[in-house]
Amino acid sequence: MKLGIVSTTALIAAISATSVSAETLRLLTWGGYAPDDVIAMFEEETGHTVEVTTSNNEEMIAKLRATNGGGFDLAQPSQDRITSAQEEFGIYKPIDMDRVEAAQFIPSMLDATASNTTFDGEVFGLPHVWGTSGLVVNTAEAGDVVDYTDLCSDAYAGKVSYRLKRPTLIGFGFAMGLDPFAAYGDEAAYQDILAQVEETLTACKANVKTYWDGGDEIQNLLRSGEVVASMAWDTGGWQLNADNADITFVAPASGALGWIDTFVLPARGRADDAAYDWINFVMRPDVAAMITNTAGNFTASVGGDEGVDANLKARYQASFDQAAIDNIKWYPPVPAGLEMLEGATLDRINAAN
């Protein structure tokens, strides 16, 4: 009898606890970062509901800018795009580290992200998924493409592709022996680098079949053999590798460009509890492995790589030896206004004949 009363009370308490804290989490993220099975598990465990909107870096910022940081409770832009957006538009709110289970994060990544996303003394980002962009090469046809500048080789005229976006400018800068990241703080030096890259890319224009725009597009081009080498994301290369062993991701000699997608809280998010619950939930090693298996990229979760599909691991290891990992060029935070310079350069490349 007594036991019955106690358990009933506990049940009521449990129900009321969940009903009080149950929220709707509006998540603005990348495709693959919130798989259905993960969402189902999360909803079951916490009682929250999750609404996912998939997007990309630029659109995330544009969406949050349009609403002054409203409409979403958790977003996942790359770490280098946080401070400038915060400075210009004030669309995020700081992370309360007390509510994060910091032990679940790989310490070096947590620290690096924290320092890269610090603005006015406050931390705005936590690391989640990381990956690189480099070269995806059909090794049977273009085995000697080892760096970005090799895409401009006459041997592959009309059979290469890249995006006309800022990572291309930076990647070519490194491949040309320059260091764009070091020049981030010095507008004149950066402009000088951009001018050299512009010259190269303008000359290279004739070589390019088309500037690709979406991940599907470049995968199709590579799969059909119309393009034999391209600047692209690592996961795309590994996905193609599963179908065609000749095609794979190659870390460029000058270093792959490393990005880390983060968790940030939009300034006017309403469901912070659910957001922190989600962060702590998806950083659990088992959940992190599920996300890696769908997204194709590894996470900043301690032990998160253990449950990952063996094939994916093998492909990752084939693309990255230790030297290549050490050589990854991690994007530092982009100073506000740098996009303007890059935009003008891209426009000129676009306009050149």
Partner 1 sequence: MRNGTPPKPVVFRRVNSMVSDKSKLGFYLLLSPLILWLVTLIILPHIGLFAVSMSEKVGVREYETGFGNYAVFFNEPLYWRTFARTAFMSILTTALTLVLGFPIAYYIAKLTRGRTKTTLFLMCLIPFWVSELVRTYGWMILLRETGVLSNFLLYIGAIDSPIEFLYNDAAILVGLVYTSILFMIVPLVTTLDSLDDSLIEAGYDLGGTGTSILREIVIPHAMPGIVSGCIVVFMLSLGNYLTPILLGGKDSLWFTGLIYTQFITRFNWELGSAFGFLLLGLSSAVVFIGLKLSRQSLSNTMGR
Residues forming contacts to partner 1 in the complex (CB under 8 A) are 58-59, 61-62, 65, 85, 87-88, 158, 165, 205, 208-211, 213, 217, 220, 224-226, 336-337, 339-340, 343, 347-348, 350-351, 353
Name the residue nearer to partner 1 (CB basis): 90 or 303: 90
CB burial of residue 272 (10 Å; 0-12, 13-18, 19+): middle
Q: Reduced to 3 states, what is the DSSP secondary structure of residue 155? A: helix
Name the helix (H) or strand (E) containing 273: helix 272-282
Name the residue nearer to partner 1 (CB basis): 53 or 327: 53
CB of 353 to partner 1, least distance (A): 7
CB of 161 to partner 1, least distance (A): 10
Name the residue nearer to partner 1 (CB basis): 117 or 319: 117
CB of 89 to partner 1, least distance (A): 8
Name the residue nearer to partner 1 (CB basis): 119 or 278: 119
CB of 334 to partner 1, least distance (A): 11
CB of 139 to partner 1, least distance (A): 19
CB of 13 to partner 1, least distance (A): 47
CB of 336 to partner 1, least distance (A): 5
Q: Which long-range contacts (CB under 8 A, 24 or more apart) does 172-181 make?
A: 172/148, 172/197, 172/200, 172/201, 173/197, 174/148, 174/252, 174/254, 174/255, 174/257, 174/329, 175/147, 175/148, 175/149, 175/252, 175/253, 175/254, 176/149, 176/200, 177/254, 181/329, 181/331, 181/332
Name the residue nearer to partner 1 (CB basis): 101 or 226: 226
209 to each of 21, 145, 170, 261, 267, how far by Cα in Å?
53, 16, 21, 30, 42
Name the residue nearer to partner 1 (CB basis): 217 or 305: 217
- Asked if 49 contacts 43 with a C-beta cutoff of 8 angstroms, the reply is yes
- Asked if 292 contacts 316 with a C-beta cutoff of 8 angstroms, the reply is no
Query: In which order are the strands placed within the sheet that holds 49-54?
Result: 49-54, 24-29, 74-75
